[in-house]
């Protein structure tokens, strides 16, 4: 899943050239950790502002940004992204249910 700010869209019916502002990866049991790390790096190198990696089995969400190391959220935490979605808050519990 990905999110692109409206201000970046020239024509909503055309393919977007470049990275989404926010990318969300849901980890499946068969996913390879090194492949996921490479995918996160590719998103950030291409210009994504944030990448969320959701681990349903361990009930964790990792948030990567170009300027920070990973921020890890547990089931009791709240996901926010003020730089992308001012005022947006979503309990991690709601993501994982």
Task: Kindly list the domain boundaries of the chain, sorted by start residue.
Answer: 2-6+19-96
The fold of the 2-6+19-96 domain, in CATH, is tt1808, chain A (3.90.1570)
Q: For residue 97, what pLDDT is reported?
A: 82
pTM: 0.79
Pairing verdict, β 78-80 and 71-73 = unpaired
Q: Which of 67, 38, 8 lies closest to 53, judged by CA?
A: 38
Q: Is 15 helix (H, G, I), strand (E, B) or coil?
A: coil
Average pLDDT, the chain: 83
Question: What is the pLDDT tens value at each position of the chain, 97 positions in all?
Answer: 455 555 555 555 665 566 778 888 999 999 998 999 999 999 999 888 889 999 999 999 999 998 877 899 999 999 987 777 788 898 999 988 8
CB of 36 closer than 8 Å to CB of 60:
no
DSSP 21: S
- The kind and range of the H/E element at 43 are helix 33-45
How many angstroms separate the CA atoms of 57 and 49, rounded?
26
């Amino acid at each position: 899943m990905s999110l692109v700010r409206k201000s970046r869209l020239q024509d909503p019916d055309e393919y977007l050239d470049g990275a989404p502002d926010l990318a969300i990866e849901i980890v499946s049991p068969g996913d390879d950790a090194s492949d996921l790390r490479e995918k996160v790096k590719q998103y950030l190198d291409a210009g994504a502002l944030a990448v969320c990696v959701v681990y349903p089995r361990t009930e964790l969400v990792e948030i990567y940004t170009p300027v920070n190391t990973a921020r890890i959220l547990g089931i009791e935490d709240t996901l926010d992204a003020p730089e992308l979605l001012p005022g947006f808050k979503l309990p991690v519990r709601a993501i994982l249910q």
